[in-house]
Amino acid sequence: MGRRLRRETIVGMFDSITLLEKAMVGAGRRHDALSANVANANTPGYRRVDVDFHGALNAALDSSDRDKALANVEFTAEQDGSGAVREDGNGVDIDREMASLTENNLEFQAIAGVLRQQFRTLETVIGNR
């Protein structure tokens, strides 16, 4: 007789799928913000925006009702006042944006890869392959 899978194990798996899904949404939002910065690299007076999706996810995980907080987590683009401003009032450093874009892209791909593996595991559990 095989060992029974503990109920929490399965619940935990669906938990992580939700978390990974939200992380993908967050990374997608961050990509929007970073590409808006690149598009506005020559717009006078433009201040860069960024989405702190790690912070938003951490806050949701730390809250008392974790599931609800995670389901309702929102990723907002906030203006970033830090960094040097050019003569025309523009605060975009194009090299920094390109580096962040690449970093965020790889992070998104990593999350998507893990999520894909989770579904693979589920398929194995179901006996679909």
Partner 1 sequence: MSGLFGPFDISASGMAAERLRMQVIAENLANANSTKGADGLPYRRKTVVLQEAPQFDSVLAGVEATGIAEDARPGRRVKDPTNPDADKDGFVTLPNVDSVTEMVDLITSQRGFEANVQAMNDAKQMFQKALDILR
DSSP string, 85-117: --TTS----HHHHHHHHHHHHHHHHHHHHHHHH
Q: Is 49 in the site for partner 1 (CB under 8 A)?
A: yes
Q: Is 119 in the site for partner 1 (CB under 8 A)?
A: yes
Binding mask 55-84 vs partner 1 (x if CB under 8 A, - otherwise)? Answer: ---------------------xx-------
In whole angstroms, give the CA distance from residue 80 to residue 75.
15
Q: Which is closer to partner 1, CB of 13 or CB of 98?
A: 98
Site for partner 1 in 87-106 (CB under 8 A): 94, 97-98, 101-102, 104-105
What is the number of H-type helices and E-type strands within the chain?
4, 2
Q: Is 53 in the site for partner 1 (CB under 8 A)?
A: no
- Looking at the DSSP assignment, which residues form a beta bridge with residue 49? 79
Q: Specify the 3-state DSSP secondary structure of 118.
A: helix
Interface positions with partner 1 (CB under 8 A): 24, 27-28, 31-36, 38-44, 46, 49, 76-77, 94, 97-98, 101-102, 104-105, 108-109, 112-113, 115-116, 119
